Amino acid sequence: MTLLLVAGVFGTNASANEYTIGLMCDRSGVTGTIGNLICPGFHDYIRLFNKQNRLPGHTLKVMEIDHGYNVPRGVEAYERFKAAGVMTIALYGTPHTVALTPKLSEDHILGTSPGFGSAAGANGERFPYLFPAAASYWSQVASAVQFIQNNWKGSTQPKIAYIYYDNPAGREPLTIIGDLQKQLGFELQTYAVPAPGIEMRPQVLDITRKFKADWVVAHFFGQTGVALKEFSRMGHPREQMIGLVWAGGESDMKVAGWDKADGYYTVQMAHVGKDHPVNQEIVAMYKAEGKAPPEEMELSVYYNRGVSWAALHSEAIRATVESKGPNITPADVKNAMERINGYSERNFMPPFKMSPQDHEGGGYVRIFQVHDGGFRAASDWMQGYRDVVMKHVVSGE
């Protein structure tokens, strides 16, 4: 066994002009339904990057390890990445991100955790090697409130209900939405849905009949289908509901029924749909190889997140090689990542504005609306109440 381990680690002889990205994935654990969409997107973008020779003379290689959402196996994957000499690591899973954050700083390896970890992780001075690199729950909820404010026609402030799955990630936005409520003066009620979250009729009844909310902000992880069904049963207009990033996948809409979800707004951290040039290029790449386009692209919400995740990693490495030459270290890539300013891969993803303080990249999101069995953009890339969010990022809570 030990022999195998040693062979496995040192057998991967990286050639001089090949840079490796470590990708953690969950294909077999509790979040496998999402991992099986995100990770193929990641691979496809890197393959496209190499095919298009975007980094002349060099190639990128993805080393994926599936940890099954098991923390010790995630830590093992990290050690294997480190032994293989990866340039950057894409961290998958909140407990894994949390457990590995101290190690990243010790080993000076950059790790990104879009959609995972805690919102306070955006503080680059406290966590120098961790890059959430996507809007945190704080930024998402702030953008959601901003979107509601932009679209609210009433003469007084709207009544907003925040309904969330009762886990740390679900509770995380409470501080921000509470602050905004004080600042803007809208009426706010929060509703926790306890595990496993497949029954939420009491909360929905409360929201629609008792509180009579104008707008609903929903924060779910796979329970969205149930929520949409219940709200549609109670006659709450879906045009006055907005879901955070894990509450707006195609499969959720399938569960609810596309007709019942019609009009529902979702907060997104990457482009949705397969019409974007990047998607088209990936399809063309498959076609040139004589293969059918990837099935995963049909569920573009998560697939495209994998694509944008890979794009950010590759851009950081490309920028490093461009400025430093071929001999680079993970610490160089981290510095390059902090200098990324406005890169958006042709508007496929938010215009990331990284800095040594802000590892979130500005916390941009884009709102997409469920329309006619698909999604359509309902806003441009937007930030919401950045000052409020940054105040909390700096204080750390």
Would you tell me which residues interact with another protein (CB under 8 A)? 1-2, 4-9, 11, 23, 25, 27-28, 30, 36, 39-40, 43-44, 47, 61-66, 68, 70-73, 75-76, 79-80, 82-83, 94-95, 98-103, 106, 117-120, 166-169, 171-172, 174-175, 396-397
C-beta of 40 vs 243, nearer to another protein: 40
What proportions of the chain, in percent to the nearest 5, are helix, strand and coil? 50, 15, 35
Cβ proximity to another protein, 175 vs 347, nearer residue: 175
C-beta of 98 vs 321, nearer to another protein: 98
CB nearer to another protein: give 86 or 256: 86
Q: Closer to another protein by CB, 168 or 202: give it.
A: 168
Long-range contacts of 3-11 (CB under 8 A, 24+ apart): 8/80, 9/80, 9/83, 9/84, 10/83
CB of 141 to another protein, least distance (A): 12
Instruction: State the nearest-atom distance from the C-beta of 194 to another protein, in Å.
Output: 9
CB atoms within 10 A of CB 167: 16
Q: Is 93 left (phi over 0), alpha (psi -120 to 50) or beta?
A: left
Contact partners, residue 10, CB within 8 Å, separation at least 6: 83
In this structure, the chain runs to a length of 397
Task: Decide whether 46 or 367 has the Cβ nearer to another protein.
Answer: 46
- Which tokens is 381 given? 């890339």
Nearer Cβ to another protein (104/365): 104
The answer to whether the beta carbons of residues 242 and 367 sit under 8 Å apart is yes
Q: How large is the angle between the packed helices 277-288 and 32-51, nearest 10 degrees?
A: 80
Q: Are 253 and 299 in contact (CB under 8 A)?
A: no
**23 or 340: CB nearest another protein:** 23
Please, which residue, 44 or 315, has the CB nearer to another protein?
Answer: 44
Q: Give CA–CA dist 252/19, Å, rounded.
A: 36
Strand partners, 62: 21
Radius of gyration of the chain (CA): 21
Closest separation between CB of residue 195 and another protein, Å? 8
Per-residue burial over 212-231, b = 16 or more CB atoms within 10 Å of its CB, e = otherwise: ebbbbbbbbbbbbbbbbbbb
Where does the chain have alpha helices with state H? 2-10, 32-51, 71-84, 94-107, 137-151, 168-171, 174-184, 201-205, 224-233, 250-256, 258-261, 277-288, 300-324, 330-339, 386-395
* Cβ 59 to another protein shortest distance, Å: 11
User: In terms of DSSP bridges, do strands 159-165 and 59-66 run parallel, antiparallel, or are they unpaired?
Assistant: unpaired
- Nearer Cβ to another protein (167/335): 167
